[in-house]
Amino acid sequence: MPYRAPEGKGYADVAAHFRTLIKSGELAPGDALPSVSEIREQFGVASKTVSRALSVLKSEGLVTSRGALGTVVAETPTVITGVDRLSRMERNGLRYAPGETSSGHQVLRRSVYDSAVCEALKIEPGDEAVIRIRVFRKNDKPESIGISIYPPHTVAAVPELADDVRMVKQFKELYTERTGREVTTGQRIAYARQATTDELTALEIDAAPHSAVAVLVTTVTFHDDDQALGYWEDIYAPGTHLPIS
C-alpha cells in the first residue's frame, strides 16, 4: 500500500495528525476521537483509509476501542523528552500533558567537571554553570528526571535561569528576544547506563544495596551561530516507553 493516496491524504497523514494531538496533550486519555465519518469528511479520505490510520494508532498504544464511545485516547506508558515538551509549549502553550506534574525543583550554581558536559558546552572543567533539576511525574509516579545546564554567557542573556522560580517562557524564546539570535536544537543522543544513588532516590526506586539498575538517558545541546547555549539531560525510569523521533 502506498504511504499517500494519489490525491489527497493517506492513512499515515491521518495517523500523524492524531498522534501529534495526543503527544501534545491536546487530546487527553479518555477523550474520544471524531467518528469515522467525521474523519473521512475532515481529510477527504475513504473509510478504509480511516480504519487503517486508527489501526496504526492502536498498534502504537495511543488509542483504544471503547464500545459506544468509539475510539478514545488510551492511558499510555509513553513519555516524552524535554525537547518534545519544548515543542509542545511552542505549539500550544501546554507545560504539562494531562496527568503530568513535576516535583523536586532545584536551581544550583556548581562547578562542572563532567567531561561530556564540558565538551558539549565548550567550557573548562571547574567552570561554573547554572543547573536546573526537576522530576517529571505522571499520575504522581516519577517517570523521568530533567537536568538542564547553562554556561555563564547564556545566564548573562537570560538571568532568570539562575532564579529558583518557574520560568514563564522557555529559555530559547527569551534568548532570541534579547540577543536577536536564533537557537538551534542539536541531535538528541540516547544511551543506557547504571543509575546513580541520587537518581534512584528521585525516581523512587527501591533497589537492593550495590545492585545495578539500568536507566535510559537522552541528551541534547542547544546552540546559536557562535556557541553552545545549554545542555539538557533526561533520565528515564526503568520500563519507560519512549517514542523515538
CATH number of the domain residue 27 falls in? 1.10.10.10
**Nearest C-alpha neighbor of 43 from the set 94, 68, 9:** 9
Residues 49 and 115 in one domain: no
Non-local (6+) Cβ contacts of 240 within 8 A are 77, 79, 143, 144, 216
Does any domain span residue 190?
A: yes
* Mean pLDDT of the region 84-108: 83
Range of the domain at 184: 99-236
Q: What is the pLDDT of residue 129?
A: 98
**Which position has the higher pLDDT, 241 or 132?**
132
Any residues with CB less than 8 A from the CB of 73 and at least 6 apart, and which? 22, 27, 28, 29, 30, 31, 33, 62, 63
* Residue 157 included in any domain: yes
Question: How far is 30 from 158, CA to CA, in rounded Å?
Answer: 39
Q: What is the pLDDT of residues 211-237, one digit of tens each?
A: 889 999 999 999 999 999 999 999 999
pLDDT at 79: 74
Q: What CATH number does the domain containing 126 carry?
A: 3.40.1410.10
103 and 65 fall within a common domain: no
**CA 80 and chain centroid, separation:** 3
Q: In this structure, are 62 and 103 located in the same domain?
A: no
Query: How close are the terminal C-alpha atoms of the chain, in Å?
Result: 23
Cell 502506498 belongs to 2
Q: What is the mean pLDDT of residues 162-180?
A: 93
Q: What is the pLDDT of residue 3?
A: 36
The reply to whether 105 and 226 lie within a common domain is yes
pLDDT band at 198 (very low <50, low <70, confident <90, very high): very high
**Better-scored residue on pLDDT, 147 or 88:** 147
Q: How many domains does the chain have?
A: 2
The reply to whether 111 and 223 lie within a common domain is yes
Q: What is the CA radius of gyration of the chain?
A: 21
C-alpha cell at 54: 486508527
Confidence class of residue 2 from pLDDT cuts 50, 70 and 90? Answer: very low
Is the pLDDT reported for residue 10 higher than 60?
A: yes
Quote the CA–CA distance of 124 and 119 in Å, as a whole number. Answer: 8
In a domain, 5, yes or no: no
At 118 the three-state DSSP class reads helix
Domain match, 142 and 224 both: yes
For 107-151, the pLDDT digits (tens) are 999 999 999 999 999 999 999 999 999 999 988 999 999 999 999
Residue 78 grid coordinates: 509513553
The answer to whether the beta carbons of residues 223 and 186 sit under 8 Å apart is: yes
Is residue 148 domain-resident? yes
Band of pLDDT at residue 245, cut at 50, 70 and 90: low
Whether 113 and 220 share a structural domain: yes
Q: Is the dihedral of CA 218, 118, 148, 153 positive or negative?
A: negative
Tell which residue, 175, 134, 127, has the closest CA to residue 151.
127
Q: Are residues 147 and 217 in the same domain?
A: yes
Helix axes 47-59, 36-43, angle to 10 degrees: 110
Residues 109 and 216 in one domain: yes
Segment holding 221, helix H or strand E = strand 214-223
Please tell me whether residues 177 and 225 are part of one structural domain: yes
Task: For residue 80, tell me if it sits in a domain.
Answer: no
Within this chain, do residues 144 and 219 fall inside the same structural domain, yes or no? yes
The reply to whether 219 and 129 lie within a common domain is yes
Question: Three cell numbers at 32?
Answer: 474520544
Which of 23, 56, 73 is the C-terminal boundary of a domain?
73
The predicted pLDDT at position 133 comes to: 97
Tell me the per-residue pLDDT of 38-73, one tens digit each, with 9 for 90 and over: 999 999 999 999 999 999 999 988 899 988 778 999
Q: Is the pLDDT of residue 4 over 70?
A: no
